Structure 1
């Protein structure tokens, strides 16, 4: 019987233990993004043994196995859930380096995927990795279920005093992503991290709780905040470039 947990277990059992390779992609020591998902699907009982393909053929194999596309809500965001499979790239043109795939491990945009960037199977925040890779087209599949009608979105939580300002910020150090402007790590733990040099696309900013924060709407539809410098009365004291300075 098909089992999502067995599918996910195949991935987590190899997390941090294998490398990434498009040439030696069938294991046991290395895989690429699509071979890892295919083998996880086989382990979960969703595909017959020895079924293998690439990112582009995955669309058809999933649909034949009973997976349905998850439609975006009215804002264009996908309400992903644990066990959903994502494919980046347009159907018919997503094979090789043109596409990417992996599996959501929770309802908060955490994914597990075999990837070149970390040279193996890792867990990461989908929105951060998606942004770094240029925000490619996304298709999400869910087993035996589909959302056919747009869902009326709830307004993202927004801090009072948020000011519109669009741009791209490039941090010079690791910066945390937060759900609010509370700098207390215990009360508001980091949801993900941007590393030095990553592009952070923002649509607004706010000065709050001793820091300058940039803000954006994540692919999940939730508003996120990143502290980019101290609120010291200056406009050019930031930990990177692209915001005011």
Structure 2
């Protein structure tokens, strides 16, 4: 986003996230004796292929989640069928009901594929979860009005929900108060208009300009605070 600007989403601002580690058990064997094995790699591949159908065939298309399998590890040698495989799953959802649906479907598919292979029950471990990050609409409207007074109307804009995740939502949830989470830009116009991929915050090339990035962030934070304490 452009340095000097603030971007605010009303309602669901960022996705909930769930990460799982799946250990698939099989029966190891030599590559020349596949009949004596229960191949965990084939199990895992079938699980992963079927998992992709959760988004395309089980969830309402207007409430799409993101389901990513980003790691898969199994075996040590090309002619030995391993006795286990491991893969990880990351799920992003904006709707709590969809979150429950996807997580239930993942377990159903994983366990069913193992059963179909005559294999032991897989181990599914939760690595971490991120909560709902919900911007109260009334509080958001009030904050946007205050920010526009200080930063200018053109520099404070509405934005769409992001599928990234943030644990900020826990702060408001545990004490039962409305909250607003916003973003502020850090790139120059030249960077954004260069036609090249723009480095984002997980990139080693992410290097926001110091100004007006920092002053905008401080102004936005102070404006939010002062709008509540009445000074």
- TM > 0.5 fold call: no
Structure with bigger RCO (C-alpha 8 Å, 6+ apart): 2
Bigger fraction of residues in strand: 1
Q: TM-score normalized by structure 2?
A: 0.29
Query: Radius of gyration: which is bigger?
Result: 2
Q: TM-score normalized by structure 1?
A: 0.28
Bigger fraction of residues in helix: 2
